[in-house]
Amino acid sequence: MGTVLIWHIYPPLSLFWTLRMWRTKFRLSLWLKDIR
């Protein structure tokens, strides 16, 4: 619910953070694959 509230206050900032989160998740998955 907190993220929804932030999204209403700062739509561009929330979009930016969502993209960053997706990028970090993608990098982590690739990194874990490299370890294996």
Distance CA 30, CA 7 (A): 29
Q: Where are the beta strands (DSSP E) in 1-36?
A: none
Distance CA 36, CA 31 (A): 9
- What pLDDT, on the 0 to 100 scale, is given for residue 4? 64
Q: pLDDT per residue over 1-36, tens digit each?
A: 566 665 566 667 777 888 898 999 999 898 888 877
List Cβ neighbours of 8 (8 Å cut-off, separation of 6 or more): none
Is the pTM higher than 0.85? no
- What pLDDT, on the 0 to 100 scale, is given for residue 23? 92
The percent of the chain in helix, strand and coil, each rounded to the nearest 5, is: 90, 0, 10
Number of domains in the chain: 1
- CA 31, distance to chain mean position in Å, is 16
- What pLDDT, on the 0 to 100 scale, is given for residue 7? 57
- Domain, as residue range, for 7: 3-35
